[in-house]
Amino acid sequence: MRAVVFDRYGPPEVLRLEDVERPDPKHDEVLIRVRATTVTRSDCGLRGAEYFVGRFFTGMFRPRRGAIGIEFAGEVESVGAVVTEFAVGDRVFGIGSGTNAEYVCERAGGVIALIPHGLTFAEAAAVADGGLSAISLLRSVGLQRGQRIVVYGASGSIGVGCVQVAKELGAHVTAVCDTKSVDVVRSIGADEIVDYLEEDFTKNGERYDVVVDAAGKHSFLRCRRSLRPDGKYITTDPGFMWHDVATTALSKRGKLGIVRYTKADLLTLAGLIAAGSYRPVIDRTYPLEDVVDAHRYVETHQKTGNVVLLVG
């Protein structure tokens, strides 16, 4: 089978498509023929070793595992001996490892579920990371019905997820994005939109219960005056630990969001999709062969929603 691999950290050009051995499912796994996968900001960070501390987990001098990709959508090709939840031919999606490939093996009990009716493979591949991140982040700050939330970076994968999940929770959502993404962000339910090229939301005099920095480009120091006395700031950027640690340690209102992917949350997300309360946003699609171009585009930080790789 073909898979995207890399054996050193660096620019998109370190990636290559290579023939590798097709995996065999263990007794509790399913073999999935991948039809669509994605390129995320996290994939680019892994490939480029954006944060040095991450090398303690991925390999200090070179990647321990030369595969890449976390989202997938495809068909079950075969199942392990004890698997009863899925059958050959089922259309499935979820979070895995090394999913920029023609086949992957995933535990049946892992973060994998049936694709909601009516979703294409490309659409299904484009929802898991952003949607599950949103559910996890908003749960961690205890977002409640009627509260006011700002989603900074609302046009990215996680931002798109946060806007839609926050609306489902009954919050009043102010979405911050660039000019070209305003219409898309409005279409997914934002109550108010701030174009950051025209306005700084931290200077509008408004106060919010929650500020989510879904782009990792803001800081608690800049946002703290926009928070209500018991308001909370959460970011997806590991760099937060260095430039905000002193202030947040004193205030206890800012935190680094640690995303936890679970099957239960994926089933919740699938239910929202089936009910019409959540929809995928796809910026561009590329064939798997053009993974380098896809990484280059994601690194421009201009994408709206997801960038999808079509496989086969």
Domain boundaries, the chain: 2-127+280-310, 130-256
Output the six-digit token pair for 76.
Answer: 């079950």
Strand partners of residue 256? 235
- Full-prediction pTM beyond 0.85? yes
| Contacts within 8 Å (CB) and 24+ apart, 294-297 | 294/39, 295/12, 295/15, 295/39, 295/43, 295/44, 295/47, 296/12
Same topology, domains 2-127+280-310 and 130-256? Answer is: no
Give the dihedral of Cα atoms 255, 261, 263, 268; nearest 10 deg: 50
- The whole-number average pLDDT for the span 191-212 is 94
CATH 3.90.180.10 fits 2-127+280-310, yes or no: yes
Query: Over the stretch 108-167, which tens digit does the pLDDT of each residue have?
Result: 999 999 999 999 999 999 999 999 999 999 999 999 999 999 999 999 999 999 999 999
Residue 235 pLDDT class (50, 70, 90 cuts): confident
CB 176 within 8 A of CB 151: yes
**Domain 130-256 falls in which CATH fold?**
Rossmann fold (3.40.50)
Q: Alpha-carbon torsion 86, 88, 92, 97, what sign?
A: positive
Q: How far is CA 288 from CA 7, 17, 36, in A?
A: 18, 8, 9
Q: Could you count the other beta carbons within 10 Å of the beta carbon of residue 123?
A: 21
